[in-house]
Amino acid sequence: MTNSAEQVAALPMKPKTRPGGWARRALKRRATIVIFGVLAAVACVTLLPFYWMFSSSLRTMDNMFAIPIQWIPHPLNWMSYANAWQAQDFARYFFNSAVVAVAITLGNLLLCSLAGYSLTKFHYRGRGLLFLLILSTMMLPLEITMVPLFLIIKQLDWANSYQGLIVPFLVDGFGVFLMRQYMLSIPKDLIDSARIDGASELRIFWMIIMPLCKPALVALAVFTFREAWDMYIWPLIIITKDSQRTLPLGISLFMSSYGTSWDQLMAIAVLGTLPMILLFFFLQRAFIQGIAATGLKE
Amino acid sequence: MSSKAYLVSPTRRRRRRFGLASKQAAFGYAIILPTLAILAVFRFYPMVEAFYLSLTQYDLVHPPKFIGLANFIDLLHDPLFLKSARVSIAYVVFSVVPVIPLSLGLAVLFNRNLLFKNILRSAVFMPVVMPAVVMAVVWTFMYQQDGVVNTLLDMLGIAPIPWLRSSASALWAVILIGIWRATPYYMVIFLAGLQAIPADYYDAAKIDGANAWETFWHITLPLLKPTMLLVVVMNVIVALKVFAVPMIMTGGGPADSTRVLPLFIYQTAFEFFDMGRAAAMSVFLFVGVMLFSFIQVRIFSRGEELR
C-alpha cells in the first residue's frame, strides 16, 4: 500500500533520471511481497504448536485426533482445565516455581550488579583475572557439574528445599558480564562527585548506579526469570517430595502418569506457558534485549 | 573537573595502607565477594570434584574408592557410552548446522522495512517463550502417530512418520524441535549484530553499484563474523547440554537412539547410582565442550589471518 503511494508521489519528482526505475521498483515490490510471504510461512510454523496446544486443551478427547483436522474445537471442553488442576497439586507447584524464580532473579539483580560495579569502577589487584574466572563459568554447563553439585547439596542437607533450588543460581557469569558491559558506560566523574558530597560507597551504588542501570536490570531480570522458570534437570535431581516440586517437574510427572489425557496435558501446558507469554507481552523490549545481550562481545 | 579536585589532596594518602584508594579497593573486593563465594562453592569446586570423582567408584552408600582411570577405560569400551557420544555429536551437528543459516537468514529478512514487521517478528520469536518442558509435552502430542504433524504431512501427500516410535526418526524429531526453538533465539542475536553495522558501509556499497547479494557477501558477512563465532559456540554448548526434551519425549529410546550424553549421565548417576562413572562421563562432556569451542575459535581466527 505505502509502496504504491510512494511511487505515485515520487513520479513527478524524478521522471527520467534513472532508466528502468519502474522495473526496478516493481521488482523491489515483488521482493517485499515474497519476503513477507516467507516470513508469514515461518510464523505459521512457530505459532502452530501454540495454537495446537491451546485449541487441543479445549477439545474433547473424542475429537482429539479427528480427521479431517478440527481447527476450531467443537464442542468446547472447558473441564479439561479444572480436571488437570485438581489431578495434582498444581497450585503448589506454581507457587514453588514462582518463589524459586523470583528469588533467583532478585539475587542475580543484586549480586551481578555489585560484581559488575566492582569490576568496572574499582581498581585492585587481580581484577582482570577475576573477570575472566567469572566469564569462564559460562562454559561450564550444569550438566557437567551436576553430580558433585548434588553431593554438595546433599551434604548441606538442602535436598528437597528452596535453598537447594535457589542458592547455587543466585549469581551467573552471564549476568555479571551483562552488568559490567553496561556499567562501563557510566562516567566515573559521577561517582567521584558523589564521594565528594560525602555519600557512602553503598549509598552511591544504591542511589546512583542502580537507577542508572535500569534498562540493563530489566533485561537481566526477564532473562533470569525465564531461565529459572525453565529449570528442569536440577529440580529433577534434588527434589523428591511432592510439596517441593516445581512446575516443570509437576508437568513431566503429569505426563508420565496421565500420558494420554491430552486435553488435560495441554491445559496444564497452557497454564505453564502463560506467565512467560505475559512477561513477553508486557516486557517485550527487555525480553529481546536480554537475549540480544548474550551476543555482546568485548 | 570534580575528579581532578578530588585527586589533588589525597594523592599522598593513596599510597598509605589505609588510604582512601585502598579503602575503595577494599569496598570493591567486598562487593564482588558474594559472587566469588557462590561461584567457588557451586561451580568451580564441583568442577574439580568431578575430576576427582571420575577416578573413583562411588555408589553413595560406601565411601568413594580410588580406582585410577578405570572408569575412563571402561567407558571407552562401553558400546552404550560410545553410542550416547555419537548421538550427542549427531545432535550437535544436525541441530547447529541448519540453525546458523536459518537464524541469519531470518535476521537479514527482518532487518528492513516490512509490512507488519513487529507482529511478524514477535510471532517468529514465540518458540523462545515456551518453557522447555511444555515444549516437550506439546510436541510429543503433535508427533503422535495420528497427531497433527502427520495429518498435515498427509495433506501434502507425505506418508505418516512414526516420529518418536522408531529409532530411525526419533533423533530427527528431537533435533527438529531443537531447531524450532533455537532459530528465533539466535535470530535475535544476529539482528542485534546486523543493526550494529554502520549504515555508511551499505551506502558506500550502493554507490559502488553492489547488488544485494554482493553487499551481503562482502560487507554483512565479514562484519558479522564475531557474532557468528559467538552464536556457533553458544549454540554448540546449548546443544551439548540438551536434556529436558529427550528425557521427557523418549527417555533416551527407542533403542538408545536419543540418549544424549547429559541424559546418560543423569541415568548413570541418579538411576544406577554410579557416581564415579557419571563423573567420568561429565569429564568427557567437558572435554567435548572445550574441544568444540577451541576448534571453532581456531577456524574463525584462521579466516581472520587470511583476510
CATH number of the structural domain spanning residue A107:
1.10.3720.10
For residue A4, what pLDDT is reported? Answer: 44
Clarify whether residues A28 and A150 are in a common domain.
no
CA dist A109 to A130, B103, B104, Å? 19, 30, 31
In terms of residue numbers, what domain contains A41?
A: 2-82
Per the listing, cell 558477512 goes with B221
Once rounded to an integer, what is the mean pLDDT over residues B176-190? 95
The answer to whether position A57 is within a domain reads: yes
For residue A6, what pLDDT is reported? Answer: 43
- Per-residue pLDDT at A39 exceeds 80: yes
Clarify whether residues A270 and A229 are in a common domain.
yes
ipTM (interface pTM)? 0.87
Question: A230 contacts in B (CB within 8 Å)?
Answer: 131-133
Cβ–Cβ of B114/A39 closer than 8 Å? yes
A151 touches chain B (CB under 8 A): yes
Render pLDDT for A209-267 as a digit per residue (tens, 0 to 9): 999 999 999 999 999 999 999 999 999 999 999 999 999 999 999 998 887 889 999 99
Domain finish residue from A49, A82, A115: A82
Question: DSSP letters along B25-72, please?
Answer: HHHHHHHHHHHHHHHIIIIIHHHHHHHHHTTEE--SSSPPEE-TTHHH
pLDDT tier, A50 (very low <50, low <70, confident <90, very high otherwise):
very high
- Per-residue pLDDT at B16 exceeds 80: no
For residue B248, what pLDDT is reported? Answer: 94
Q: How much of chain A, in percent, has pLDDT values that exceed 70?
A: 92
B141 closest CA partner among A250, A166, A270, A89? A270
- By Cβ distance, the residue of B28, B44, B293 closest to A139 is B293
Buried b (16+ CB within 10 A) or exposed e, A185-210: ebeeebbbbbbeeebebeebbeebbb
Render pLDDT for B17-68 as a digit per residue (tens, 0 to 9): 456 678 888 899 999 999 999 999 999 999 999 999 999 999 988 899 999 9
Cβ–Cβ of A49/B125 closer than 8 Å? no
User: What are the grid coordinates assigned to A79, written together?
Assistant: 473441564
Per the listing, cell 526419533 goes with B170
A193 touches chain B (CB under 8 A): yes
d(CA A82, CA A268): 10
Tell me how close the Cα of A12 comes to any Cα of chain B, in angstroms: 24
Clarify whether residues A191 and A223 are in a common domain.
yes
Clarify whether residues A22 and A49 are in a common domain.
yes
- Per-residue pLDDT at B125 exceeds 60: yes
In this structure, of A20-24, A222-226, B72-76, B261-265, the range with the lowest mean pLDDT score is: A20-24
Once rounded to an integer, what is the mean pLDDT over residues B80-94? 95
Tally of CA atoms within 13 A in the half-sphere of B65 that contains its CB: 8
Clarify whether residues A286 and A243 are in a common domain.
yes
For residue A208, what pLDDT is reported? Answer: 92
The larger pLDDT score, comparing residue A281 to residue A21, is at: A281
Clarify whether residues A145 and A190 are in a common domain.
yes
Once rounded to an integer, what is the mean pLDDT over residues B258-278? 95
- Per-residue pLDDT at B13 exceeds 50: no
The answer to whether position A56 is within a domain reads: yes
CATH 1.10.3720.10 residue ranges of chain B are 71-306
Clarify whether residues A50 and A124 are in a common domain.
no
Is the whole model's pTM more than 0.90, yes or no?
Answer: no
In this structure, of A2-16, A170-184, B226-240, B247-261, the range with the lowest mean pLDDT score is: A2-16
Clarify whether residues A63 and A108 are in a common domain.
no
Question: A170 contacts in B (CB within 8 Å)?
Answer: 38
For residue B124, what pLDDT is reported? Answer: 95
For residue B87, the tally of other CB atoms under 10 A from its CB is: 22
For residue A21, what pLDDT is reported? Answer: 67
Clarify whether residues A71 and A99 are in a common domain.
no
Cβ–Cβ of A142/B241 closer than 8 Å? yes
Once rounded to an integer, what is the mean pLDDT over residues A35-42? 92
Clarify whether residues A67 and A98 are in a common domain.
no
Tell me how close the Cα of B146 comes to any Cα of chain A, in angstroms: 6
pLDDT tier, A1 (very low <50, low <70, confident <90, very high otherwise):
very low
- Per-residue pLDDT at A15 exceeds 60: no
Question: To the nearest whole number, what is the mean pLDDT of chain B?
Answer: 88
Cβ–Cβ of A42/B106 closer than 8 Å? yes
pLDDT tier, B107 (very low <50, low <70, confident <90, very high otherwise):
very high
Tell me how close the Cα of B166 comes to any Cα of chain A, in angstroms: 18
Once rounded to an integer, what is the mean pLDDT over residues B233-240? 90
Please count the structural domains in chain A: 2
The answer to whether position A65 is within a domain reads: yes
Domain finish residue from A25, A59, A82: A82
Once rounded to an integer, what is the mean pLDDT over residues A81-104? 94
Clarify whether residues A230 and A128 are in a common domain.
yes
A233 touches chain B (CB under 8 A): yes
Question: A225 contacts in B (CB within 8 Å)?
Answer: none
pLDDT tier, B174 (very low <50, low <70, confident <90, very high otherwise):
very high
Which of the 8 DSSP states describes residue B288? Answer: H
The answer to whether position A165 is within a domain reads: yes
Cβ–Cβ of A195/B109 closer than 8 Å? no
The answer to whether position A169 is within a domain reads: yes
Question: B34 contacts in A (CB within 8 Å)?
Answer: 111, 114, 171
The answer to whether position A140 is within a domain reads: yes
Stated length of chain A: 298
- By Cβ distance, the residue of A122, A247, A291 closest to B185 is A291
Render pLDDT for B205-218 as a digit per residue (tens, 0 to 9): 888 888 888 888 88
Contact A235, A245 (CB under 8 A): yes
Mutation target vs B (from A63, A119, A145, A193; most B CBs, 10 A cutoff): A145
The answer to whether position A298 is within a domain reads: no
In this structure, of B248-252, B282-286, B296-300, the range with the lowest mean pLDDT score is: B296-300
Cβ–Cβ of B50/A148 closer than 8 Å? yes
Question: To the nearest whole number, what is the mean pLDDT of chain A?
Answer: 88
Once rounded to an integer, what is the mean pLDDT over residues B88-94? 95
Burial class of residue A243 (count of CB atoms within 10 Å of its CB; 0-12, 13-18, 19+)? exposed
- Per-residue pLDDT at B304 exceeds 70: no
The answer to whether position A281 is within a domain reads: yes
A62 closest CA partner among A51, A49, A52, A75? A75
Render pLDDT for B147-159 as a digit per residue (tens, 0 to 9): 999 999 999 999 9
Clarify whether residues A138 and A175 are in a common domain.
yes
Give the fold, CATH level 3, of B71-306. Answer: MetI-like fold (1.10.3720)
Once rounded to an integer, what is the mean pLDDT over residues B167-195? 94
Tell me how close the Cα of B149 comes to any Cα of chain A, in angstroms: 10
